[in-house]
Structure 1
Amino acid sequence: MKHKPVKQSSFFKLREGKIERTRRYCPRCGDGYVLAEHKDRWFCGHCLYTEWKKTR
């Protein structure tokens, strides 16, 4: 197997009867394109959008 399968169920949580997102979506591509979380940044593999995390 070349890549590890993505667990879509890990992108959402159920709280008080409502579905809540656990991951961020790309502001350029819109809903459906989830940003990958790295140690120092958020990254969209579709449009190459990068958002750096704030460090202390």
Structure 2
Amino acid sequence: MKRAGDLELAKRNPKPKAKRPSPQVWKFYNVEGSRAKRLRKVCPRCGRGVFMADHSDRFACGKCGFTEFKRESATASLP
């Protein structure tokens, strides 16, 4: 049984809509002619379609947590 107050309350307080992530996948590809080149490294655990974040000292996957550290170059270690 519905009351008149319930209907008024429903009109005043609508359900919040779920926020969807913006489609910014174009940031991870470079399109040249008819070919697309990946700009980020792909996660070896998750497979294609999951890119790894590029930090200053490591690559990290936000989905599974896999981390791969970058190697220092040989010239950087020399005095």
Please indicate the TM-score interval, normalised by the length of the shorter structure: 0.7 to 0.9
For this pair of structures, how many residues does the alignment match?
A: 52
In structure 2, runs of 5+ residues without a counterpart are 1-21, 74-79
After TM superposition, the score normalised by the length of structure 1 is 0.77
Instruction: List 4+ stretches of structure 1 deviating above 3 A.
Output: none
In structure 1, runs of 5+ residues without a counterpart are none
User: Considering only CA atoms, is the larger Rg found in Structure 1 or Structure 2?
Assistant: 2
Q: Which has the larger helix fraction?
A: 2
- Alignment pair present for 1:31 and 2:45: no
After TM superposition, the score normalised by the length of structure 2 is 0.58
Q: Which structure would you say has the larger RCO, counting Cα contacts within 8 Å and 6 or more residues apart? A: 1
* Residue identity (%): 37
Q: Which has the larger strand fraction?
A: 1
Give CA-to-partner distance per residue, 1:15-54, whole Å, 9 cap, x none: 2431111111101001121100100000001111111111
